[in-house]
Amino acid sequence: MYFFDECFASQNFQYIRQSKIIHSFKIRSFTHCSMKKQEKADKIAEILEELYPKVPIPLDHQDNYTLLIAVLLSAQCTDKRVNQITPLLFAEAATPQDMVKMDVDHIREIIKPCGLSPRKSKAIHKLSEILLDKHDGEVPESFEDLEALPGVGHKTASVVMSQGFGHPAFPVDTHIHRLAYRWALSTGKNVVQTEKDLKRLFPKEKWNRLHLQIIFFGREYCPARGHDPLSCPICSVYGRKSLFK
């Protein structure tokens, strides 16, 4: 059996989705073909939509401010851990008005399990001050203003714009970056390039759902470690050939 990067497809691809588990997944043969990257992207989008017709926002939050704080905390931390810690933090301060009243050291102690607590606690306190001073206590609805806040990079701003305000955005984290490379949808040089590549391949109206679908798929079928491309519903059909060496 031979695998061809960006140009092999299944002649018989069957799967049955039951309770988020692939019950049956069979690939009987592969044939060399001239599938273009856009065709591959369209097929991958169809699979993701079939597997994840509903995509809840992974981080628990009450409004755009608590979403912003949760996303900031998620840097180098799992969503599960963040969702365990944010209720403790928001019980004491769920608004910028309350957050600035808290001591930075106290914030740091609460969020310590999320990692990078010295830097994150300072950023949370300072951005809360800025929201009060410059934005009337509201989270700004623009990439420029969001990325000007301490601790808020392009990915965090993209999540808030997408999940908070509903604007088309394609937040690319390490998981999406990894999968885009495995599926040969991007060169994998950096997350900036990956975001550009994915935005070119997928319609703008699908960006907000699609980035979440890819995240859920990566967690369930395409992990960073212990990944078996032959059993992966997408890599086994559309993965780059280097996965099978």
Strand pairing report for 8-10 and 21-27? unpaired
Angstrom distances, CA of residue 187 to CA of 65, 161, 213, 226, 236? 35, 26, 21, 22, 19
Active site residues: 155, 173
3-state DSSP call for residue 54?
coil
The answer to whether the CB of 149 falls within 8 A of the CB of 127 is yes
Strand-pairing partners, residue 154, are none
CA distance 146 to 68: 9
CB-CB contact of 146 with 69 (8 Å): no
Cα angle vertex 155, ends 154, 160, to 5°?
95
Left, alpha or beta for 113 (phi > 0: left; psi -120 to 50: alpha)?
alpha
